[in-house]
Amino acid sequence: MLESNQITVKEIWQAAARYLKNKLHAPTYNHWFKPIVPVSREKDTIVLGVSDDFFADWLKDNYSDLLNEAIKAATGKELAIKFEYGHLPSEHDHEPVVAKPQPAVQAEPAGNVKLSVSEEKNLKSCTANLLSRYTLDKFVVGEENRYAFAAASTASKSPGTYNPLYIYGVTGIGKTHLIQGVAHEILKKKPCTRVQYITCEEFLNRYVDALSERKHSHFRNWARKVDVLLVDDVHQLANKTQLQEEFFNTFNALYNENKQIILTSDKQPCEIVGLEQRLVSRFECGVTVEITPPSFETRLAILKQKQNEHLIKLDDEVLQFISSRITASIRRLEGALMRLVAFSSAMSNCHITVERAEDLLRNLLEEETASRKVTIENIQKAVAEYFEIRVTDILSDKRPKNIAEPRMVAMYLSRKLTERSYPEIGDAFGKNHATIMHAEKKVIERSKQDESFRMALSTIQRQLQS
């Protein structure tokens, strides 16, 4: 323990960092604590520098107690901890040091700046699989994707900081847009960067072609000589033993050289049935963030932004109607807008009313309603499977924690995902409406305090809505 009134913030953090190293596994320490920069000390407060609000929020939610414990162990007293954004991690392996002024970010190639022949060739090759409209500045940020966007932005500015970055969520909510946006941003700043975006299916096809043509070494060189690897739908590795072996070796080669790896999936790594444990471990050793279906406000903002690309503009009430009725997928949302714009254009700028929109989108709206219909019975079954108990246990009067907790989760999700009233849900569980209200309150309180519990809720909800 150090004399807290006489030591600098650098010395406090170095002592705290040594304490954390002894408490944590090396990958956890390296990802979440090694990048922290000691900034200043103000009386009974220590200011620590981190890259962005996502990083700070993650530390607060998951390691707040441990951080306080480490600071107290270093100083012998409790200090309040504040986070300051905008500090990139040190590239060195030694203990954290006081932040140094960051070099200016390399300027983007302006329109009148001529790229070299090699830069032009690399840029053309790297953007072949990218959609030009999928840029970060066109990504609409809402509460449901804020963490993912912050992590992706950091990856584009400082590749290797979050490695791997694993983004998951149901189909059609912006994962591909986000990782292609990272590719565009990196290439805009450094056109010579070797960036490879590929879907898992394309990765498989390339691998199979290489084997059939006896060009395995060519494939290996292609896959492992990139600076940034972005793979969409990595859950498709499941049950492909030979491909998993190849991907594992490629992952390790890039990871060991601190090359940025970004993966997307519709599931968390641990949920992918048929994925080898060693790959699950690799995917989970970095930063894992979820994108959930967009809120009404985010859906409306997406439509308004998308509408700017068209000459024909729809009335706000029409956009609000679409946003309120199409909730699960951004792709379906944009498809609805395109259908209305195309109809208006074909009919010589015919004015689209809410009634006409409902008629033109009837099939799409029916599909939307059918796709999101969740029953209480579905919820009971999904919760029972997740917690490895029987539905009859959930419906019983048993009160052990391993049954009572899943029962409350099922009640909460029944309230959230169906249009049933408290009494109706109570009838389905053999309880009164007050019990359902109590369960809902308890689950909400617990989810605010317990990250793993919150992740469990999210997992079950995605399974029900997918």
Residue range 362-371, pLDDT digits in tens: 988 887 777 6
Decide: 214 and 246 in contact? Cβ < 8 Å: no
The CATH number given to 376-465 is 1.10.1750.10
Tell me which residue of 243, 234, 206 sits closest to 221, measured CA to CA. Answer: 206
Buried (b) or exposed (e) across 256-290, using 16+ Cβ within 10 A?
A: eeebbbbbbbbbbbeebeebbeebeebbebbbbbb
Residue 264 DSSP label: E
* pLDDT of residue 458 exceeding 70: yes
Decide: 455 and 271 in contact? Cβ < 8 Å: no
Yes or no: is domain 9-84 CATH 3.30.300.180? yes
Q: Which residues are bridge partners to 81 per DSSP?
A: 46
φ, ψ at 391 (rounded to 5°): -60, -35
The CATH number given to 122-290 is 3.40.50.300
The CATH number given to 296-360 is 1.10.8.60
Length of the chain: 466
Q: How confident is the model at residue 202 (pLDDT cuts 50, 70, 90)?
A: very high
pLDDT at 135: 94
φ, ψ at 167 (rounded to 5°): -115, 125
Q: How confident is the model at residue 89 (pLDDT cuts 50, 70, 90)?
A: low
CA distance 410 to 398: 15
Token pair listed for 1 = 């323990």
Tell me which residue of 115, 189, 133, 198 sits closest to 159, measured CA to CA. Answer: 189
CA distance 388 to 78: 42
Decide: 38 and 13 in contact? Cβ < 8 Å: yes
Predicted TM-score of the model (pTM) = 0.66
Mean pLDDT of all residues in 310-315:
88
- Compare 230 and 311 and report the one with higher pLDDT: 230
Buried (b) or exposed (e) across 431-450, using 16+ Cβ within 10 A?
A: beeebbeebbebbeebbeee
Query: Which CA distances in Å does 322 have to 176, 177, 275?
Result: 23, 21, 38
Domain ranges across the chain: 9-84, 122-290, 296-360, 376-465
pLDDT digits (tens, 9 = 90+) for 393-432: 999 888 899 999 999 999 999 998 887 888 889 989 989 9
* pLDDT of residue 322 exceeding 90: yes
For residue 100, which amino acid is it? K
- For every residue of 431-443, DSSP letters joined together read --HHHHHHHHHHH
Ranking 151-165, 205-219, 368-382 by mean pLDDT, the lowest is 368-382
